[in-house]
Amino acid sequence: MGQAAPRSAMAEWRRYGVLPIAAGIGYSTMAIQTYGIGPFVASLEAQFGWSRAEVMLGLTISNTIGVLLNFAVGVLADRVGPRRVALGGVIVKTSAIALLATATGSVLNWSLLWMLVAFGAVLAQANVWASAVASRFDKGRGLALAVTLSGSSFCAAILPVLAAKLIGIYGWRMAFVGVAAIWLVVALPVVFFFFSGRQDEHRRSLEPEVRAEVLATLPGVTVREGMRMIAFWQLIIAAFAFAFYTMAIAPNLVPLMTEKGETAMAAAELAAMMGVVGIVARISAGFLLDHFSARVLGTMVFILPVLGCGLMLVGAPGYLVLTLAVISFGVTIGAEYDVVFYLVSRHFGLRSFASLMGALLTAGALGGAVAPVVAGWLHDRFGSYDQVLVVLMVLMGGGAVAIATMGQPKQDWGAAH
């Protein structure tokens, strides 16, 4: 028979503490293209004579595929279990990143390579990892989700500097291969041995009574019921705004700061600091989510980048002001999806968690698909990123309003596991 559910956050961590860490390492593969493309921009422009918008076209393609497939992958994870989907995501995503080294200079070739990246990305998207973690944690769910989602911040902290150094030593082609190989060697064994959700148990258990127990319906609403709730559409607005912001800032942060007067390496180091701040913010937010209002916390972290973008609008901001702006970006990128995932689990339960999160990620993918092209076009049109920063201030302000006006969950969806 299955074991009794842990009655405290501490008990959950004692039993399942390795799971969020493994999920976080696996999820870091999802963020490779977001935080890794920035250091490659100058090399690709110099090699092929591309515009900034053409370099960033790959991110748009990746997110467009996400618009089409994120929801379907969420449904798949709910039905077959997140473990199988996650393993496929790690393998496909890292292989596709390595293949970017074969770019020929043709925009068609670049686009096709990024389609492969996109398929890996949707299999490694956040709801796959979070659905397994949420199925194991209830009392400590906020912190557990934070550890899981810190994988993207971990990637942001390491990848810009790693990629810049690999490019400097080996050139941009081998740098793509090196980044992919490092992530595959680290992530695949961890995910294979340590990542498994409640949804996966029935595929390994030989005891009929255990299979019956774990196949019992998880508490929560159906997909259709969730999509009829106002809270769902408020989260759609927030997800779109946040993804647009992330996909406009993250890949452009290094070139943005070089245009503000920093060297390429100093800009990469500042960009890496955003990842470090994001990790601290994410873990802190996860702890706070288990003790304070997710709605209030979410509103605050949506407002921060409005201030950060304002600082970036200073003509010659200097290192200190840029540092403060990057810190504000890191806090928001680190904490915001913690809040969104937590709100989904509390407002809608776990029954359709991956599916509903897939729908929100689809809205995010739409924002992410538009953002790189819009940011690149505005930069090419006006010769700076100032107009991009203004657009981001408006969008994030709207997201703050959407989160602030959400009500309380209509039902307590706490789950036994």
The predicted-structure confidence for 153-189, as pLDDT tens digits, reads as follows 788 778 888 998 999 999 999 999 999 999 999 999 9
CA distances from 406 to 58, 85, 231 (A): 35, 32, 6
Please provide the average confidence, as pLDDT, over all residues in the chain.
Answer: 84
Report the percentage of the chain scoring pLDDT > 90. Answer: 29
261 sits in which H/E element? none
- The predicted structure's pLDDT at residue 21: 95
Task: Using pLDDT thresholds of 50, 70 and 90, give the confidence band for residue 279.
Answer: confident
At 28, the pLDDT band (50, 70, 90 cuts) reads very high
Confidence check: pLDDT of 369 > 80: no
Read off the DSSP letter of residue 66: H
Question: Which of 190-204, 208-222, 247-261, 268-282 is predicted with the least confidence, judged by mean pLDDT?
Answer: 208-222
220 φ, ψ to 5°?
145, 180
Q: For residue 416, what pLDDT is reported? A: 43
Residue 226, CB half-sphere, CA atoms under 13 Å: how many?
Answer: 26
Lowest mean pLDDT among 16-20, 178-182, 273-277: 273-277
Q: What is the CATH number of domain 13-404?
A: 1.20.1250.20
User: Could you give the CA distance from residue 105 to residue 103 in angstroms, rounded to a whole number?
Assistant: 6
Range with top average pLDDT, 22-31, 268-277, 369-378: 22-31
- Looking at residue 158, its pLDDT comes to 86
The pLDDT of residue 212 is 46
The pLDDT tens digits for 202-241 are 555 545 555 445 445 567 888 888 898 999 999 999 999 9
Tokens of 204: 């390994």
For residues 27 and 151, the answer to whether their CB atoms sit within 8 Å is yes
Residue 94 confidence class, pLDDT cut points 50, 70, 90:
very high
Average pLDDT over residues 243-267: 82
Token look-up 């890292």 returns 94
> Does residue 415 register a pLDDT over 80?
no
Domain definitions of the chain by residue range: 13-404
Q: What token pair was written down for 352?
A: 């359709």
**Least confident window among 4-13, 26-35, 71-80, 327-336:** 4-13
In the chain the first and final C-alpha atoms are separated, in Å, by 12
Q: Answer whether residue 417 shows pLDDT above 60.
A: no
- At 349, give phi and psi (nearest 5°): 80, -165
- Contact between 125 and 148 under an 8 Å Cβ cutoff? The reply is no
Contacts of 134 (CB under 8 A, 6+ apart): 141, 144, 145, 341, 345, 350, 353
Side-chain half-sphere CA neighbours of 24 within 13 A: 23
Task: Report the percent of the chain where pLDDT is more than 70.
Answer: 92
Position 301 pLDDT exceeds 80 = yes
